[in-house]
Structure 1
Amino acid sequence: MKKLLISMMVLALAVACKKEAGKPVPSEIDTVTRVKPLDSAAVAKEKALKEGALKKTNDEVLQALKAKDYKTFASFIHPEKGINFSMYAFVDPKSDKHFSKEDFEKYQPTKTLFTWGAQDGSGDPYKATINDYLRKWVFSGDFTASQYSFNTFLGRGNSLNNLEEIYPKSDFTENYIKGTEKNSEMDWKTLRFVFEEFQGKYYLIAVVNDQWTI
């Protein structure tokens, strides 16, 4: 009886192994095909919503600058990272002026002078209050009537543009004013905003001006 029981167990094990051996071995291709493909329509919709939100924020920032409403402008500054200001296309985090949101709001109403960088050509330091810098340098033209682009450079001058290297994971908008024929279109200027999302809202982390340099 004991021998019969052992024989039956061995036979059952053999049959099970045979069935298992007959099953097809899943290949890497099979595994890949089982993964649900990305919904292209959903991706396109998400991208469109993002671009729309950034375009809206871009325009609101421009309107605040045009109206010299710097309190509203301050509301767009990243709550944790603050904001950097670059006078030209080359971004240098070590020397560019940086403010936390709190410091910007503290000094914006005052007459405190800050050094924002060195002027192209002369190399002289550019000193101004926050209000004067925003009025005379940042919003040096009516950028509300400029040409808009998203993550694309329109103004291309003779200075190094390293924005994408310094902010590789951020989105940026550009507001470009074309140069005049009188000056062989070399008097163009552009204003770029770099954004990062924080708690479901896009905030400014950098303001970068660009123009033809000597």
Structure 2
Amino acid sequence: MKKLLISMLILGTLAACKKRETKPAVQTVDSTVQAGTDSTNVTQNKVNKEESLKKANDEVLQALKNKDYKTFASFIHPEKGVRFSMYAFIAPKEDKNFSKADFEKYQPAKTLFTWGSQDGSGDAYKATINDYLAKWVFSKDYTQSQYSVNKFIGKGNSLNNLKEIYPKADFTENYIKGTEKYGDMDWKTLRLVFEELHGKYYLIAVVNDQWTI
């Protein structure tokens, strides 16, 4: 009888164990932590982008200052080339646009190009690539300028359509303020428009701006 009772107790215990189901642990994602991680990644990506743009900007400026046009050419977009605009208003059909190959071909030559019309007189501005870069594009030492990224500093009286022409591109601004002698109206700025390709920022436009009549 005692053995029978023990057997029944054992069977009951086993049956009870079978009925117990161990519920799997449910992993929950803390939405606050996830949102914080995403925000951190976005911020870090923005910082990395701005650092890359600043580095590219400074290297282009240094190349122009040193008249190192081989280095400058290495920044020309391999598919879109680079466009040069004399003033803030960009005219895609009129402004000079060079592929990297054409720039490297004509840069050492004495070929004269018409870059646009000079403000005030309306006369055509004709110059070799070297003269245009040295006397117009880098007419001031922009390595000593005030810098910004995707933000305009110099604001004149000519139409600025950079964001309309290059809505998806990034640009840097290198601004040199005017002097008291001329009521600060002799300011100049150089904008470099970049587009990323295969992890590198390439130049697609070089835009000068200044006060116009």
TM-score class, shorter-chain normalisation, is 0.7 to 0.9
Tell me how far apart the structure 2 counterparts of residues 62 and 83 of structure 1 sit (CA, whole Å). Answer: 15
Aligned partner of residue 207 in structure 1, secondary structure:
strand
Identity fraction in percent: 77
TM-fit CA distance, 1:87: 0.1
Q: Distance in 2 between matches of 1:192 and 1:73?
A: 15
Deviations 1:169-206 (A, max 9, x none): 00000000000001000000000000000111000000
Structure 2 CA distance for aligned equivalents of residues 62 and 200 of structure 1: 20
Deviations 1:28-73 (A, max 9, x none): xxxxx8xx64710000000000000000000000000000111110
Pairing 1:49-198 to 2, within 5 Å after superposition:
49-198=48-197
Offset at residue 88 of structure 1 (A)? 0.1
Q: CA deviation at 1:106?
A: 0.4
Q: How many residues align?
A: 180
Larger radius of gyration: 2
Q: Which runs of 5+ in 1 are unaligned?
A: 1-32
Gapped regions of structure 2 (runs ≥ 5): 1-30
Partner secondary structure for residue 80 of structure 2: coil
> Residues of 2 paired with 1:96 and 1:187: CA distance?
23
Dislocated runs of 4+, deviation >4 Å: none
How far residue 76 of structure 1 moved from its aligned partner, in angstroms, is 0.4
Cα deviation 1:110-163 (Å, max 9, x = unaligned): 000000000011111100000000000000000000000000000000000000
Aligned residue type for 2:53: L
Matching residue of 1:200: 199
